[in-house]
Amino acid sequence: MRFNRAISPIKVLSFDLDDTLYNNHPIILNAIEAMQSYLQSIPEWANQQGDYWLKCRRHIGETQPHLKDDVTNWRKVALEYGMSQLAFTNEEIARHSSNAYQAFANARSNITVAQSVLSLLQALDKKYTLIAITNGNVEVEKFNLAGVFTHVYLAGPDGKAKPNTALFERACHDLKVNPSEILHIGDSLDTDVQGANLAGCHSVWLNNQSASYAYKGLADIEIQDIHQLAFLK
């Protein structure tokens, strides 16, 4: 654990979700596999050359860049676009797109957070208000983080994605706290630490990923294991 700056008194602990409270890598791979399995069961889709899904996703990202702040709608719109290019009826486009997205969503939230992490959160909840701020589209109410957080803020429905400050500002407004009273914990320097720093919140970087980042700023605190947050209890 490393302290780069002193932090002022904290009222709210804000958590990123994916790769902070659980390993998201196998989860997202399973979700993509579930979606692709459904898509490949559709002959018209399976007959397309190359990675047709990736082509559709890239096309929507380039033509509707605002959707990059809302990964759920980006996926849904890309699926609808892909189906619309295959001469399906409107009913078939809607049905296949919905079914493919639902296959993804069901697997996306098939998560079990470790009991040790839940126990840590339960202990921290005795002293702080716990919230989540995520750029992802996991549905917390579908697994064992349900009921843990006072608020869950999702990029898209609740504001632009981190490192934009919108979600942090929304949390400050809803909870009636100053930015300096929020400590945000996340695994990404580019989104979590940069976003919290820009918003005037305190930041904890969970540095346990072998990833490279563009952001050169410092988190207030750096940890290598989520359980090191026990010092906050």
**Residue 51: active-site member:** no
CATH entry 1.20.120.1600 includes domain 26-109: yes
Phi, psi of 85 (to 5 degrees): -85, 0
Q: What three-state secondary structure class fits 218?
A: coil
Q: Which CATH superfamily is domain 2-22+112-232 in?
A: HAD superfamily/HAD-like (3.40.50.1000)
The predicted-structure confidence for 94-149, as pLDDT tens digits, reads as follows: 999 999 999 999 999 999 999 999 999 999 999 999 999 999 999 999 999 999 99
**Helix residue spans in the chain (DSSP H):** 25-40, 43-46, 52-63, 71-84, 90-108, 115-125, 166-175, 194-199
What does the pLDDT read at residue 117?
98
Rounded CA Rg of the chain: 19
The predicted-structure confidence for 163-205, as pLDDT tens digits, reads as follows: 999 999 999 999 999 999 999 999 999 999 999 999 999 999 9
Q: What three-state secondary structure class fits 72?
A: helix
Query: What residues does each domain of the chain span?
Result: 2-22+112-232, 26-109
Which of 16, 18, 70, 192 is catalytic? The answer is 16
